Amino acid sequence: MSVAVAERSAAPPQHALRPVISFHGVSKVYPNGTEALRDVDLAIHQGDFCFLVGPSGAGKSTLVRLLIRDEAPSTGRIFIDGQEVSRMSHRKLPKLRRKFGIVFQDYKLLTRRTVAQNVAFALQVTRPGQRHMREKVEEVLWIVGLEDKLDKFPDELSGGEQQRVAIARALVHRPRIFLADEPTGNLDPDTSWGIVQLLLQINHRGTTVMMATHNREVVDLVRRRVIAIDNGRVVRDEAEGSYLREGTATL
Amino acid sequence: MRQILASLWFALHSAGQNFRRNLGVSLAGVFTMGLIIFLVGGSLLFTHSVDTVLQGQEQNASHLKIYLSDNASLASITNFESRLKHDPRVISVTFETKDQAKQQASQNQSISNALAVLGSNPLPASLNLNVRKLTDLSQFNAEAKATPIVDSTTPTDYNSDVISKLNTVITVIQWVGAIIAVILLTISIVIIMNTIRTAVYSRRTEIEIMKLVGATDWFVRWPFILEGMLGGLLAAIFSGAVVFGAYRLFVQAAQGNLLSVPFDTRYTITLLIVLLVGGVAVGAFGSFLGVRRFLSA
Ligand SMILES: Nc1ncnc2c1ncn2[C@@H]1O[C@H](COP(=O)(O)OP(=O)(O)O)[C@@H](O)[C@H]1O
Ligand SMILES: [Mg+2]
């Protein structure tokens, strides 16, 4: 595996007074009684890059779903950009979601559309009739390194390339916060590394990035902020952490 | 403007795609909707025709004889008669004297003989009333009873039993018609709902992405609503044409036979418009319900 760690931002992020994401005593109990998150407190600042680590079932995806208000917390409050999302009305959700770019383990690409059409779709359904759509699409596809695959269909691409298309689609409306929920879950180590490099590059351009993963090698190589979750609780939050607690075999 | 056109284009394009991708389900939905619209339109036209014929019959049936007491003065009779004549519910009033009543009755031989034996004339004079609506008869009957110059033992020839039975039958037919219409309407909505559910299901990834990137609910909804409206419109056009053709055949066939049913052009045009608008509205509403559950996340 290549160890060419992506360049870091020269200066540490200038923390605004107000974090871009904050959780205050957040718990989530699903209707079936599962306690997915318990009393979570978090603050993430504009321009941060952080890993959300923990075993399967720890509550990582739940945390992501609460952020985009796909689910509402059972108790506690969540703020994005100073706006409380935990009690946000249904009507305001589209505006909230446009602040995020999000990708998942399954790429959620539309198989009947080309690469360029998949990316353009995000603009068509949020800003119909927007001018210079083609240029914007080509620009993000260039950022993810797929400028020569515009007219290919998803099933003509490798897994890593498909995830890049998903990343391009999530980037095309210039989100403030980029969320990746196990983006490398279906990829081999080299390809995974490429995706992580891309996320670091996106972060380098000023976007806040949060990546949920249980890919130990990647986390240990990058050495950025690590938030570890186990059984719904934040058990560790380090500025330059590794996957496991230093010198132990536990989170 | 550009934005509205782009949204509209997106919605129409997706609606067309949905229709084609689920062609079997879409066509089955349109066919069943068409059948229901045909039933509704056909039964409305049939009822209207029967109604037209019945109305003609009803005018014949809407007669009431008000018997006058023998000692009523001519002035009071004339007064009562003119009051009835000016009532808007009344078509005509004629005065029948005791002699005319006797003459009328004497057409029957045995009655004629009986009258001859009696010598005097026991038959009362009467006001013969012809009203527009059968259902008004009971009111005139009540009014007659309260009038002093009317014979108190037998005020009228009103046969409340027959008339109330007729009224009941008419009311029952109207209710049954209304209930059947509501059931058919509900079925249409459920059919559209399920057609749209299939379309929603085949587009679930697309909808998921739309919600993730921040499309509004209405943006997600419109293609499906348009698809439902399109289906309703198609169904209404086809079944409307069939209803129209069947109605013309029915009128032609009836002309030669039992009753002459008039071809009511104004009613037919109104009905066809109602079917079109109704088909589109049911399509839109069914689709709205079909996507609702999926969007309320
Ligand atoms: N929709 C749901 N309904 C009920 N339980 C759920 C739901 N989603 C997740 N869970 C449960 O919540 C816990 C946390 O799940 P999740 O957030 O998906 O964890 P992770 O992403 O870390 O693997 C698990 O026990 C999971 O089974
Ligand atoms: Mg998960």
This complex has an ipTM of 0.89
Residues B84 and B177 in one domain: no
- pLDDT beyond 50 at A9: no
The pLDDT > 70 percentage for chain A reads 93
Residues B71 and B49 in one domain: no
β-strand partners of B238? none
Residues B48 and B172 in one domain: yes
Each domain of chain A, given as residue ranges in start order, spans 8-12+19-238
Q: Tens digit of pLDDT for each residue in A173-204? A: 999 999 999 999 999 999 999 999 999 999 99
Residue B211 Cα distances to A39, A182, B9, B181, angstroms: 28, 20, 19, 38
B160 falls within a domain: no
Note every long-range contact of B181-190, with CB atoms under 8 Å and residues 24 or more positions apart, other chains counting: B181/B40, B184/B36, B184/B39, B184/B40, B185/B282, B187/B36, B188/B32, B188/B33, B188/B36, B188/B37, B188/B282, B188/B286, B189/B282, B189/B285, B189/B286, B189/B289, B190/B286
Say which ligand is closest to the CA of A60: 1
B6, B212, B213 member nearest A128 (Cβ): B6
pLDDT of residue A187: 95
How many residues can be counted in chain B?
A: 297
pLDDT bin (cut points 50, 70, 90) of residue A217 is: very high
Q: Give the minimum alpha-carbon distance from B20 to chain A in angstroms, rounded to a whole number.
A: 14
Q: Which of B83, B116, B132 is the last residue of a domain?
A: B132
The pLDDT > 90 percentage for chain A reads 86
Residues B189 and B283 in one domain: yes
Q: How far is the CA of B98 from the centre of ligand 1 (A)?
A: 98
pLDDT of residue A173: 92
Nearest Cα residue to B125 out of B144, B159, B143, B150: B150
Q: Which residue of B has its CA nearest to A64?
A: B212
Residues B50 and B81 in one domain: no
Chain B CB contacts of A129 below 8 Å:
2-7
B110 falls within a domain: yes
B145 falls within a domain: no
Residues B114 and B217 in one domain: no
For residue A62, the ligand 1 atom closest to its alpha carbon is: 17
pLDDT of residue B60: 62
| Residue A200 Cβ contacting ligand 1 at under 6 Å | no
Nearest residue (by CA) to ligand 1, atom 16, is A59
Chain A touched by B148 (CB under 8 Å): no
Chain B touched by A108 (CB under 8 Å): yes
Residue span of the structural domain in which B186 resides:
2-57+166-296
A68/B297 touch (CB, cutoff 8 Å), yes or no: no
Residues B11 and B100 in one domain: no
Residues B179 and B196 in one domain: yes
- pLDDT beyond 60 at A18: yes
Q: What does the H/E/C string look like for B184-195?
A: HHHHHHHHHHHH
Chain A CB contacts of B296 below 8 Å:
90
Enclosing H/E stretch for B39: helix B23-61
Residues B202 and B76 in one domain: no
CATH 3.40.50.300 fits A8-12+19-238, yes or no: yes
pTM score, two decimals?
0.77
Q: Which of B132, B156, B177 is the last residue of a domain?
A: B132
Q: Which of B111, B132, B153 is the last residue of a domain?
A: B132
B10/A128 touch (CB, cutoff 8 Å), yes or no: yes
Chain B touched by A110 (CB under 8 Å): yes
Q: Which residue of B has its CA nearest to A95?
A: B214
Residues B254 and B191 in one domain: yes
Chain B touched by A94 (CB under 8 Å): yes
pLDDT of residue A17: 66
pLDDT along chain B (297 residues), means of 10: 88 89 87 89 80 66 85 88 90 89 83 82 88 82 87 81 67 79 87 86 91 94 92 94 90 71 85 94 91 74
Residues B215 and B236 in one domain: yes
| Residue A213 Cβ contacting ligand 1 at under 6 Å | no
Distance of alpha carbon B220 from alpha carbon A90, whole angstroms: 14
**Pairwise pLDDT comparison (A84 vs A246), residue with the higher score:** A84
Q: Can you tell me the mean pLDDT for A111-128?
A: 95
Q: Which of B4, B209, B213, B219 to mutate to test the interface with A (most CBs of A within 10 A)?
A: B213
Residues B107 and B227 in one domain: no
pLDDT of residue B209: 95
- pLDDT beyond 50 at A218: yes
* Count of structural domains within chain B: 2
Mean pLDDT over all residues of chain A? Answer: 92
